[in-house]
Amino acid sequence: MTDLIACLSSGEKSWAHVSRLIKEQEWKKIFLITNDFGRQNFKTEKNAEFIVVDFQKPVFELIEDIKSGLKGKLTDLEVALNIVSGSGKEHMAILSALLKLGVGVRLMAVTKDG
């Protein structure tokens, strides 16, 4: 099992994708990078930790916020990453933070076939 990191941004339609990915796989830990709205409104049956950031900040500040939110919490040298939700700026910040933390990234998504 590996840790899952998912971007959970605006666009609640993409939340269904993230919810399904959480539900259909076994994860060691689940981290959701989101804002206050996401933390208050996204529901999941599995235990997930919300890393709450302000997506309006400049990208370099987002990188540091995400990095500090994840530092010391990841359980392996590789993580599963889902970036279906969110913008390019948010995706860049998450990917940069993960690389600065020294972990490898495996992109994960679900399809209609699983």
One-letter amino acid at 67 equals K
Q: How confident is the model at residue 112 (pLDDT cuts 50, 70, 90)?
A: confident
Residue 99 Cα to chain centre, angstroms: 14
Beta bridge partners of 78: 104
Rounded CA-CA distance 57/44 in Å is 27
Rounded CA-CA distance 85/6 in Å is 8
Q: How confident is the model at residue 34 (pLDDT cuts 50, 70, 90)?
A: very high
Q: How confident is the model at residue 69 (pLDDT cuts 50, 70, 90)?
A: very high
Rounded mean pLDDT of 82-109? 96
Rounded CA-CA distance 7/34 in Å is 6
